[in-house]
A and B are shown apart, each in its own frame.
Chain A
Amino acid sequence: DAGVIQSPRHEVTEMGQEVTLRCKPISGHNSLFWYRQTMMRGLELLIYFNNNVPIDDSGMPEDRFSAKMPNASFSTLKIQPSEPRDSAVYFCASSPSGFSYEQYFGPGTRLTVT
Chain B
Amino acid sequence: AQSVSQHNHHVILSEAASLELGCNYSYGGTVNLFWYVQYPGQHLQLLLKYFSGDPLVKGIKGFEAEFIKSKFSFNLRKPSVQWSDTAEYFCAFRTGGGNKLTFGTGTQLKVEL
Contacts and interface: CB of A to CB of B under 8 A. Distances in A.
Interface of A: 31, 33, 42-43, 45, 48, 50, 55-56, 91, 93, 95, 99, 101-108
Interface stretch (B19-27, B43-51, B77-85): B43-51
A45 B98 CA distance: 14
Interface of B: 32, 34, 36, 42-46, 49, 51, 90, 94, 98-106
Contacts of B42: 107
A107 B45 CA distance: 10
Contact of A102 (B49, B90, B104): B49
B101 A101 contact: yes
B100 A45 contact: yes
Contacts of A50: 98-99
**Residue from B34, B43, B45, B94 whose CB has the most chain A CB atoms within 10 Å:** B43
